Amino acid sequence: MSLVATLVSTPTAPAVGEDLVQRAAEALGSDSPPTILNPGIAADILFQGENASAADTKLRELIGSAPVDVFVQSQENRRKKLLIADMDSTMIRQECIDELAAELGLKDKISEITERAMRGEIDFEPALRERVGLLKGLPLSAIDSVLSNRITLMPGGRTLVQTMKANGAYCALVSGGFTHFTGTVAAMIGFDENQANILLEDDGKLSGKVAEPILGRDAKRVRLEALVAEKGLGFDETIAVGDGANDLAMIERSGAGMAYRAKPAVAEAADFRIDHGDLTALLYFQGYAETDFILS
């Protein structure tokens, strides 16, 4: 079987040097010259093998503590036609509900609940109702303030979406957060659609309630399955990326489930994991070179 191993580091600290790539190629018994996707940052190594997992283990032992991500997969169907992505702590650096809580001086209290929910220690839906309840009375103007002053995009996200779209892929942002944020973030990055929960309002303030049913773990999987049917795709043509427990269902259902700097249980369950690279790692994973990137 023809397999490909991809080594990726963060662009801000290149760690995929020629020596490492050569040693990795020798360890895999590759008889093809490595493909440098971005000098010092990403490289592909083609080799013949039957066990991607064993090759992954071998490479991780070789790399040791170096800040390099490893992906081993079949050469077939590398470039995906559907991206479905989480928003909080994936496409943006923050958790929106925690930043709203900061406006009330409740960030520590709410972020603790958020962390437990993302780790899968408590169910997402009741945890969301509890956190939203604590936001009761927050002026809607605080949402615009948070968007303007507290929310920042995750590096590489816009390049990821724009490059995949330029190559015919459909990109969906599906969040357990709120539409007040996903609409703006989706527009900034260039997603084709966005879905999230709806915060209910009362006289210009948050009512402390969220519209039911809550978009959580199962809803993300359902949207993935619906998009596959709508677009006439196979699941092997899809890639899902997220960091928390409520992303697990879509990560496990997609053809390539990617854990992005994720909670331990998510990283363990995903097909692949990004611990060091930025979101352009998902492009290198698909075989795109830096010269293919859309940098608009």
Q: Fill in the amino acid letter for 186.
A: A
The encoded tokens of residue 30 equal: 């590759």
pLDDT at 285: 98
Residues sharing a CB contact under 8 Å with residue 110, sequence separation 6 or more, in sequence order: 97, 98, 101, 131, 134
Catalytic residues: 86, 88
Scanning 167-235, the segments in alpha helix (DSSP H) are 179-189, 217-231
pLDDT at 81: 98
Reduce the DSSP state of residue 218 to 3 states and report it: helix
Residue 102 domain flag: no
Q: In what order do the strands lie in the sheet containing 272-274?
A: 193-197, 170-178, 82-85, 238-242, 256-260, 272-274
Classify residue 174 as left (phi > 0), alpha (psi -120 to 50) or beta: beta
**Spatial contact of 4 and 287, defined as CB atoms under 8 Å apart:** yes
What pLDDT band is residue 1 in, cutting at 50, 70 and 90?
Answer: confident
CA-to-CA distance for 135 and 138, rounded, in angstroms? 6
Residue 67 domain flag: yes
For residues 273, 65, 35, 48, the Cα torsion angle rounded to the nearest 10 degrees is: -70
CA-to-CA distance for 284 and 42, rounded, in angstroms? 7
What pLDDT band is residue 164 in, cutting at 50, 70 and 90?
Answer: very high
Beta bridge partners of 171: 83
Whether the predicted model's global pTM rises above the 0.85 cut: yes
Segment 132-144 mean pLDDT: 97
Please write the tens of the pLDDT for every residue from 74-115.
999 999 999 999 999 999 999 999 999 999 999 999 999 999
- Match 């437990």 to its residue by tokens: 116
Distances, alpha carbon 262 to alpha carbons 2, 27, 34, 95, 118, in Å: 29, 28, 29, 13, 9
Examine residue 67 and say whether the peptide bond preceding it is cis (omega within 30 degrees of 0): no
Residue 92 domain flag: no
CA-to-CA distance for 171 and 165, rounded, in angstroms? 7
Residue 1 domain flag: yes
Nearest by Cα to 50 from 2, 7, 110: 2
Residue 72 domain flag: yes
CA-to-CA distance for 185 and 252, rounded, in angstroms? 25
Q: Read off the CATH number of the domain in which 31 is found.
A: 3.30.70.260
What residue numbers bound the domain in which 22 lies?
Answer: 1-76
Q: What values do phi and psi take at 76, rounded to 5? A: -75, 145
Q: What values do phi and psi take at 17, rounded to 5? A: -80, 170
Beta bridge partners of 115: none
Domain count within the chain: 1
Percentage, residues of the chain above pLDDT 90? 99
pLDDT at 41: 98
**Spatial contact of 60 and 24, defined as CB atoms under 8 Å apart:** no
CA-to-CA distance for 76 and 236, rounded, in angstroms? 10
pLDDT at 270: 98
Residue 89 domain flag: no
What pLDDT band is residue 186 in, cutting at 50, 70 and 90?
Answer: very high
